[in-house]
Amino acid sequence: MLILEDEALLRRQLAAQLERLGADVTGAGTIDAARRFIAELPFDFALLDVNLPDGQGTDLLKEKIFSTNTSVVVMTADGGVSGAVEAMRLGALDYLVKPFDVAEVPLVLSRARRARQSARVEEHRRGDGSQSGAGFFFGASMAALERQLEKILAADQRVQTQLPPVLIEGETGTGKTTIARWLHHRGPRAAQPLIEMNCSAVPETLAESELFGHERGAFTDARTARMGLFEAANGGTLFLDELPSLPLALQAKVLKALEDHRIRRLGGNREVPIDVRVIAATHRDLKALISAGLFREDLYHRLDLYRVRIPPLRERGDDIVNLAESMMERLCQRHRLPRRTITPEGRRRLVGYAWPGNVRELSHELERAVVFEDGDQLDFAHLGGVARTGIATVLPGDWLNPEFSFPTEGFSLEDSINRLIQLALKQSGNNVSAAARLLGVSRDYVRYRLSGGKSGGKAGE
């Protein structure tokens, strides 16, 4: 922190007050001395007196010499408020009128810091268009998930600071972002910033600067310093969607920030303390990525304390219809159209469809129906056929995993048949006749297979 004040006693009093709070303080009695310090050191804060022996402290603001990460507060004598107002027009965030109690200074600096943080949050929101919050439909099929989230909120209320990270797993379109917002806006940090970053949408070359910020001159295009999203989210929540998209080296820095509660800006030499709740989300299998060397195992274990899995829409049974009706009502209101209803056949089709795009696909399907379909009842006739996703063909109510594809090296069909027979026997209590009925084959066929008989070769050979 820089204190530009020609009165040595006041400068020492201010330095002592701020050093007790853990600040590194640099004092200057002239504008020339301040210029040298600013050229050599990055400052988070600057306290500037207006009237100095070699000019006006506000001249430094006119010269635009300060980093954009520096929060400037001016000090002015009684009657010099107009000069302080001019300083704020030039970029100062607040002012103090002399004489003042030095105990006021930390409060004023904290207020200036929040103003700078809010500006960075607003800049990010304008850039990505993220929403401040949204509802989430749990239903009976997600009661266990809702209870799990409520327990996390209860733990957060007890802890308050340095909240553990949350890991949200789920297929694309299941509502991971909505759950992150749900946790933030119902937790103890609801009044603090929520910053969202889609890691897969940020180029690798910019991701470190975006997360941790940078100092002026840190790289070729760094003409000014910039606050990172970890700092902007200080006191609040940072949601990192598709975290595995970050390169391994940057994953290590995220891990260090989670463990140490400190970050260092790109090109900087000082650590900045932070208190940020990190919520990470992914649609990918992290253990498989670890095995492939694409995700850090130590970061996984750090994130794996509060793990939340959102089931795909196809596993939610009749709740699909309840969700569809809730979304339909909102869509009709949005488009200013009469309320639509779903026919019994339409309900069956909604439940039977595989929904590879999950809630996002359902939302788009409903909005298309509201806009383009005539009549006040919807039956979704086009969902009655075959749905295709990836390589596999999926029929309504099918048991086949829609993400399945054959391994390139082939697999044993014989072993798979025998495995199905063993599963049927287990379900039927080792009753061969009952197992045969479950499999849709004869009892003799099951016995033949159990005796070691085979009917074909190995797939892939």
Residues in the chain: 461
**pLDDT score for 42:** 78
Please tell me the distance from the alpha carbon of residue 436 to that of residue 239, in angstroms, as a whole number.
50
> For residues 143 and 190, is the Cβ–Cβ distance under 8 A?
no
| pLDDT at site 125 | 58
Distance CA 6, CA 383 (A): 78
Q: For the chain of 461 residues, list the mean pLDDT of each consecutive stretch of 10.
A: 87 86 86 88 86 87 82 77 75 83 84 73 54 62 90 93 94 92 92 91 89 84 82 93 94 96 89 94 93 94 93 89 90 90 90 89 91 86 56 54 67 85 89 86 85 51 38
Locate the domains of the chain by residue range: 2-124, 143-309, 317-394, 406-461
Q: Domain 143-309 is classified in which CATH homologous superfamily?
A: P-loop containing nucleotide triphosphate hydrolases (3.40.50.300)
pLDDT at position 122, please? 63
The sign one gets for the Cα dihedral 182, 185, 189, 194 is positive
Q: How many C-beta atoms lie closer than 10 Å to residue 111's C-beta?
A: 13
For residue 311, which phi and psi values (nearest 5 degrees)? -70, 150
- Rounded to two decimals, the pTM is 0.61
Which residue in 32, 36, 231, 34 sits closest to 123, CA to CA? 231
The one-letter amino acid at 103? A
Say how far apart CA 393 and CA 399 lie, in whole Å: 11
Q: State the distance between the two ends of the chain, measured CA to CA, in whole angstroms.
A: 71
Q: In the prediction, which pLDDT does 177 show?
A: 93
Cβ atoms 338, 376 nearer than 8 A: yes
CATH class of the domain defined by 2-124: alpha beta
Q: Give dist(CA 356, CA 172) in Å, integer.
A: 9
Q: Residue 262, SS3?
A: strand
d(CA 213, CA 207): 9
Rounded distance between C-alpha atoms, residue 10 and residue 125, angstroms: 40
User: For residues 51 and 77, is the Cβ–Cβ distance under 8 A?
Assistant: yes
Q: Is the peptide bond before 244 cis (omega within 30 degrees of 0)?
A: no
Tokens of 376: 């006040």
Give me the pLDDT at residue 75, please: 86
Domain 143-309 in the same topology as domain 2-124? yes
CATH architecture of the domain covering 406-461: Orthogonal Bundle (1.10)
CATH number of 317-394: 1.10.8.60
Nearest 5°: phi and psi at 206? -105, -15
